[in-house]
Amino acid sequence: MIDNVLAEQNFILGREVKELETAIASYIRGKYAIAVASGTDALLLALKAAGVGNGDEVITTPFTFVATADTILLAGATPVFVDIDHTTFNIDPELIKKAITKKTKAIIPVHLYGLSCDMDSIMKIAREDSLIVIEDVAQAFGGRWGEKRLGSIGLAGCFSFFPSKNLGCFGDGGMVVTSDLRVAEKVEMLRKHGGRDKYNVDMLGHNSRLDTLQAAILLAKFRHIDKWNKGRRIVAELYNKELCGINGLELPAVNPKAYHVYHQYTIRTKRRDELHRHLKDKGIGSMVYYPVPLHMQKVFNGVTNIVSSLKNSENAANEVLSLPIEPLQTLDETMYVVKMIKEFLR
């Protein structure tokens, strides 16, 4: 596939980009998919295309990657952080309701670690207050809420193809999926300077196009995504079975309505830092996502509205640890991690 791209020399927004957009729109079951340069740009362009801008408030979680909320600022709007649920690490719908003001325009639920937010509650709140929902699906490609694919429930779903994501390319890449023709047309224009064509530019836009080479790589990998997500779920089931019932250790939430795709398998313990070091000594790479909630980072100082306690997010930042989880991780590899955790916590 890469050879084709080299032969055709159409390196930006070429044929493979179109093919990828068609394949992903159909997989996610949205009408339109527009490829952009990163997951960050997917969020920024979707916000702008949905009409979010100056004077608007956007409700989201502080327990996420910075891009979820810096794009709200970049769009000219104000992030409003509300706390997460202790067990799912996802935004707490009850708290969303309390944070809504006359200025609230949108909600960005983040399907953190590959686990769907409670989309029934979130969509109900959004309908009642005529709010836009833009899903941050960067960590949950292939995940579902009931029968619905994540990214097809809100007005738009924003995906990242950063190499470490469940579906990743060999560089930066992203995608906006939507069933709204106006949003689709606007993202399509915004990714190329805001013009219908090069010399008829209507609005201020960006340069945010996907390379054809990245699209070719993604098309090849996309064929395996369901199998790879299943592989992650098998590793997660083994962790669930082997690590349950250990004192002081909490395992990821299981929601029967959510098809979890385990971008991360994240446990929590009050002895997180010690366990992190212990695993490192045993040659196991565990990670902390995220050590600092967004409201505690300088970039958001004085530019966000915080209406209530964010204690669950702050506690999570001190207690979470993501264990190795790869589609092709072997039983022995997983059992070694299990053994080392048990050895430490016993």
Determine phi and psi for 32, rounding to 5 degrees: -130, 145
Contact status: 211 vs ligand PLP (CB under 6 A): no
**If we measure between CA atoms, which residue out of 20, 52, 38 comes closest to residue 134?**
52
Contacts by residues 250-256 (CB-CB < 8 Å, ≥ 24 positions apart) = 250/87, 252/113, 252/115, 253/87, 253/88, 253/89, 253/115, 255/88, 255/115, 255/116
Q: Least CB distance from residue 215 to ligand PLP, whole Å?
A: 15
Contact status: 290 vs ligand PLP (CB under 6 A): no
When binding is defined by CB under 6 A, the residue of 68, 208, 312, 313 that contacts ligand PLP is: 68
The count of residues interacting with ligand PLP (CB under 6 A) is 15
- Residue nearest to ligand PLP as judged by C-beta position: 39
Binding positions for ligand PLP, 106-135, rule CB under 6 A: 110
In order, the DSSP letters of 257-274 are TEE---S-EEEE-TTHHH
Grouping H, G, I as helix, E, B as strand and the rest as coil, residue 174 is strand
**If we measure between CA atoms, which residue out of 225, 247, 228 comes closest to residue 236?**
228
Binding positions for ligand PLP, 20-39, rule CB under 6 A: 38-39
Residue 102 structure tokens: 């006359």
Contact status: 64 vs ligand PLP (CB under 6 A): yes
Q: Least CB distance from residue 289 to ligand PLP, whole Å?
A: 8
Q: Least CB distance from residue 110 to ligand PLP, whole Å?
A: 5
8 Å CB contact between 115 and 253: yes
* Contact window for ligand PLP (CB under 6 A) among 16-24, 61-69, 199-207, 318-326: 61-69
Grouping H, G, I as helix, E, B as strand and the rest as coil, residue 34 is strand
Following CA atoms 217, 221, 222, 225 in sequence, which dihedral angle do they give, to the nearest 10 degrees?
A: -160
Check residue 294 and report its DSSP letter: G
Give whichever of 105 and 165 is closer to ligand PLP, judged by the CB atom.
Answer: 165
* Contact window for ligand PLP (CB under 6 A) among 1-9, 72-80, 98-106, 136-144: 136-144
Residues facing residue 91 across a β-bridge: 84
When binding is defined by CB under 6 A, the residue of 40, 78, 88, 322 that contacts ligand PLP is: 40
Distance, in Å, from the CA atom of 129 to the CA atom of 49, rounded to the nearest integer, reads 20
Give whichever of 172 and 188 is closer to ligand PLP, judged by the CB atom.
Answer: 172
* Contact window for ligand PLP (CB under 6 A) among 59-67, 196-204, 234-242, 326-334: 59-67
E strand spans, 82-137: 104-108, 132-136
Contact status: 168 vs ligand PLP (CB under 6 A): no
* Contact window for ligand PLP (CB under 6 A) among 63-71, 82-90, 187-195, 209-217: 63-71
Give whichever of 14 and 62 is closer to ligand PLP, judged by the CB atom.
Answer: 62
Residue 12 structure tokens: 């930006």
When binding is defined by CB under 6 A, the residue of 174, 252, 293, 324 that contacts ligand PLP is: 174
Give whichever of 38 and 178 is closer to ligand PLP, judged by the CB atom.
Answer: 38
Determine phi and psi for 148, rounding to 5 degrees: -90, 140
8 Å CB contact between 99 and 308: yes
| Residues of this chain that bind ligand PLP (CB under 6 A) | 38-40, 64-65, 67-68, 110, 136, 138-139, 160, 162, 172, 174
